[in-house]
């Protein structure tokens, strides 16, 4: 028997075996599902019927009518009401219905569900119990129909797979025949050359390289999946899947410290009132469903709005942070109306209190929650689905001040500052374990008014984003960083806005600036937020392809769980990653968070990346991160160490 025929028979056998196994597994799974559903149906209907019979105050005629009404639907094999002594008081039985499925199939895949049992009472007096048993023939009919459909689909797929395998085998046979023909030609003293692509050694090399890449990808995907599990354990509430209180507070604190975003934002607090009373009246499973419904309603905002944060603060309290001005009150009212329409389905007596506040982002975290808690207390005093919104104070922020002057005025101020180079770079150290300086983080500050103070990006960046000036701002920052590196030779990193990547000419102009400073470029680092890798991955790859050959290092800042969403992170060409403060804060006292950080380190180190942590304040957290073998840290702690 020829080799090709043996391979063909092997492929055919594997396909047939796979089809048979798939049909068997699918049929078994559907059978278990139908049997479970039938058991649940028996139990649910028994409970429902018992509740109805309990309301008849022991009237035998009325109870018989209720049993007959249920039994006459035709879906039940028997309905029996037994007394407290176990004897049948009322009984309706039917001959088991014959299934449309073949007898051999019924025997091969039996469906046997236990009868549903429920107690019947008259007030405080027990009458007996009701037993409900459904006809299983309907389940067999559905199982047979489902199995035949699955078998038909799999046969079609198997046929297509067989045709594909036949085509592949024919393609494999061609180079083998060519090699055999070449061997026969050598016997005949004729030396024929084969195309290079047909040389088996080259094919083996290509296959080895592909196998290596696939193994790396599989390893990365496995690590990413493990990282997702660790993140859920460390950062999320086990019931709702939302951020836990500790992680939400850390995320919010990190968001308030960042430069991007509007000057004003909103915070919503939602409280399910009288949680203990609801547990007593409705039961824990129903209350859990209510909490899940609340979480689902809140999750829609972080899923659809970038930068929005949601979390469960405790058993009954939820929080939602909106990184936009003038939307908190409307969002709270819309949320209240939506929940007012949906929650009564779970039972009566459900009440919610919602508060919405808007404050400048520079306000302390305690002030945010103080205002929100006070508003929530006022909402609780009103009852029902109450919303208490606190109007924002007169805006004295930078954005509001400039907007009051008019769009042209503040846009002109930013453009003029860029043109006149009225800007300078900050300098915040990144230290290694030995306290040595790795590089300086250099955020850009602009002098919006001649002779005025240099303003941090918190003030002007939202306006630059609105007017699409971030590319010009980033080019200015890179130019200043190269000049500073040329003066003192110190490594520096500059933040780039992800929006700059959307400017078609930005990368080309950036490369031109870097190209004219080859020595300084080797000590320049460019950082983008994690969102750039998630949302603009191809643009990130192009940025690395253009700049890394010139010696520029590329990194991600504010990195967290979003890295697990980047399927091809190993292709991004990164040099380092900076973990967000929300990820590393409190790691010293939380084993789950420490495990998550270690998992991220393992994943990122497998890609040959340096890993730093940002925003650190607590020395205990720093020591815990050194124990995790982190490469460097930055933040107030590192700044204080450098000064001292």
pLDDT for 231 equals 74
590 in Cβ contact with 249 (< 8 Å) = no
Q: Which is nearest to 458 in space by CA: 397, 417, 530, 531?
A: 397
**Higher-confidence position of 20 and 184:** 20
Q: Which is nearest to 640 in space by CA: 612, 617, 611?
A: 617
pLDDT for 291 equals 93
pLDDT for 407 equals 59
pLDDT for 186 equals 36
pLDDT digit string, tens, across residues 68-122: 887 777 678 788 888 877 788 788 887 777 777 788 887 788 887 788 888 888 7
> Does residue 143 register a pLDDT over 90?
no
> Does residue 583 register a pLDDT over 50?
yes
User: How many alpha carbons lie under 13 Å from residue 633 in its C-beta half-sphere?
Assistant: 31
202 pLDDT band (50/70/90 cuts)? Answer: very low
**Higher-confidence position of 412 and 188:** 412
pLDDT digit string, tens, across residues 550-564: 999 999 998 887 776
- pTM here is 0.59
- Number of other CB atoms surrounding residue 574 within 10 Å: 23
The residues, any chain, with a CB within 8 Å of residue 114's CB and separated by 6 or more, are 39, 42
pLDDT for 195 equals 46
180 pLDDT band (50/70/90 cuts)? Answer: low
Q: What is the mean pLDDT of the segment spanning 230-249?
A: 85
Output helix, strand, coil percentages for the chain, rounded to the nearest 5: 60, 15, 25
pLDDT for 205 equals 43
CATH homologous superfamily of 243-390 = Reverse transcriptase/Diguanylate cyclase domain (3.30.70.270)
What are the b/e assignments for 244-265, b being 16+ CB within 10 Å? bebbbbbbbbbbbebbbbbbbb
Provide DSSP, 554-569: EEEEEESGGGGG-TTG
Q: Which is nearest to 67 in space by CA: 59, 79, 51, 76?
A: 79
> Does residue 137 register a pLDDT over 90?
no
pLDDT for 391 equals 67
252 in Cβ contact with 359 (< 8 Å) = no
354 pLDDT band (50/70/90 cuts)? Answer: very high
348 in Cβ contact with 316 (< 8 Å) = no
> Does residue 175 register a pLDDT over 60?
no
pLDDT for 644 equals 63
Q: Which of 30-34, 273-277, 299-303, 543-547 has the lowest mean pLDDT?
A: 30-34
Average per-residue pLDDT for the chain = 81
> Does residue 460 register a pLDDT over 70?
yes
Q: Where are the domains of the chain?
A: 1-94+115-190, 243-390, 406-643
Would you identify the CATH topology of the domain 406-643?
A: TIM Barrel (3.20.20)
591 pLDDT band (50/70/90 cuts)? Answer: confident
637 in Cβ contact with 617 (< 8 Å) = yes
488 pLDDT band (50/70/90 cuts)? Answer: very high
Q: What is the mean pLDDT of the segment spanning 444-467?
A: 84
The pair phi, psi for residue 92, each rounded to 5°, is -130, 125
**Higher-confidence position of 208 and 535:** 535
45 pLDDT band (50/70/90 cuts)? Answer: confident
Tell me the two tokens of residue 27: 């049929």
**Number of continuous H segments (helices) and E segments (strands) in the chain:** 22, 19
**Higher-confidence position of 333 and 112:** 333
Tell me the two tokens of residue 368: 């945010």
pLDDT for 352 equals 92
Tell me the two tokens of residue 215: 């193994």
Q: What is the mean pLDDT of the segment spanning 396-416?
A: 63
> Does residue 397 register a pLDDT over 70?
no
pLDDT for 260 equals 67
The CA distance from 339 to 387, in Å, is 12
> Per DSSP, what are the bridge partners of residue 495?
527
């Amino acid at each position: 028997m020829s080799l090709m025929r043996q391979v063909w028979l092997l492929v055919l056998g594997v396909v047939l075996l796979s089809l048979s196994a798939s049909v068997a597994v699918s049929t078994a799974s559907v059978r278990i599902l139908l049997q479970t559903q039938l058991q649940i149906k028996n139990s649910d209907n028994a409970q429902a019927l018992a509740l109805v019979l309990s309301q008849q105050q022991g009237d035998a005629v009325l109870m018989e009518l209720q049993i007959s009404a249920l039994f006459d639907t035709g879906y039940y094999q028997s309905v029996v009401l037994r007394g407290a002594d176990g004897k049948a008081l009322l009984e309706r039985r039917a001959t088991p219905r014959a299934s449309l499925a073949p007898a051999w199939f019924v025997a091969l895949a039996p469906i046997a569900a236990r009868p549903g049992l429920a107690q019947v009472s008259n007030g405080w007096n027990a009458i007996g119990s009701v037993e409900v048993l459904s006809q299983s023939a309907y389940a067999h009919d559905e199982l047979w129909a489902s199995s035949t459909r699955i078998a038909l689909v799999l046969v079609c797929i198997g046929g297509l797979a067989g045709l594909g395998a036949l085509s592949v085998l024919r393609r494999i046979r061609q180079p083998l025949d060519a090699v055999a023909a070449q061997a026969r030609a050598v016997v005949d003293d004729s030396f024929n050359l084969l195309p290079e692509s047909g040389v088996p050694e080259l094919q083996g090399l290509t296959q080895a390289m592909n196998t290596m890449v696939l193994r790396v990808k599989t390893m990365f995907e496995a690590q990413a999946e493990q990282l997702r599990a660790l993140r859920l354990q460390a950062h999320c509430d086990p019931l709702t899947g939302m951020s836990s209180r500790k992680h939400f507070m850390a995320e919010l604190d990190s968001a308030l410290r960042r430069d991007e975003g509007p000057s004003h934002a909103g915070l919503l607090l939602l409280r399910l009132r009288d949680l203990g009373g609801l547990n007593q009246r409705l039961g824990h499973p129903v209350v859990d469903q209510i909490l899940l419904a609340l979480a689902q309603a809140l999750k829609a905002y972080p899923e659809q709005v970038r930068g929005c944060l949601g979390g469960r603060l405790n058993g009954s309290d939820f929080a939602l942070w909106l990184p936009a001005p003038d939307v908190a009150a409307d969002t709270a009212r819309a949320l209240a109306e939506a929940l007012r329409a949906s929650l009564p389905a779970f039972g009566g007596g459900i009440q919610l209190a919602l508060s919405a506040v808007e404050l400048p982002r520079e306000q302390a975290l305690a002030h945010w929650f103080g205002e929100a808690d006070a508003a929530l207390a006022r909402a609780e005093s009103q009852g029902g689905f109450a919303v208490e919104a606190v109007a924002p104070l007169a805006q004295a922020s930078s954005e509001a001040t400039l907007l009051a002057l008019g769009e042209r005025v503040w846009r002109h101020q930013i453009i003029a500052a860029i043109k006149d180079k009225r800007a300078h770079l900050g300098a915040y150290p990144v230290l290694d374990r030995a306290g040595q300086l790795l590089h300086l983080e250099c955020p850009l500050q602009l002098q919006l008014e001649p002779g005025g103070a240099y303003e941090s990006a918190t003030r002007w960046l939202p306006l630059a984003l609105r007017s699409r000036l971030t590319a010009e701002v980033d080019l200015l920052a890179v130019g200043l960083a190269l000049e500073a590196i040329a003066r003192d030779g110190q490594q520096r990193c500059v933040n780039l806005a992800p929006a700059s990547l959307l400017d078609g000419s930005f990368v080309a102009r950036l490369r031109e600036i870097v190209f004219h400073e080859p020595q300084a470029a080797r000590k320049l680092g460019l950082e983008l937020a994690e969102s750039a890798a998630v949302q603009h991955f191809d643009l990130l790859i192009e940025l690395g392809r253009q700049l890394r050959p010139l010696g520029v290092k590329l990194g991600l800042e504010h990195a967290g769980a979003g890295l697990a969403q980047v399927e091809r992170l190993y292709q991004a060409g990164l040099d380092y990653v900076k973990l967000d403060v929300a990820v590393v804060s409190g790691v010293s006292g939380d084993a789950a968070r420490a495990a998550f950080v270690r998992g991220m380190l393992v994943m990122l180190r497998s890609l040959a990346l340096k890993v730093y942590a940002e925003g650190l304040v607590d020395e205990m957290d720093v020591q815990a991160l050194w124990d995790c073998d982190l490469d460097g840290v930055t933040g107030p702690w590192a700044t204080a160490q450098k000064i001292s």
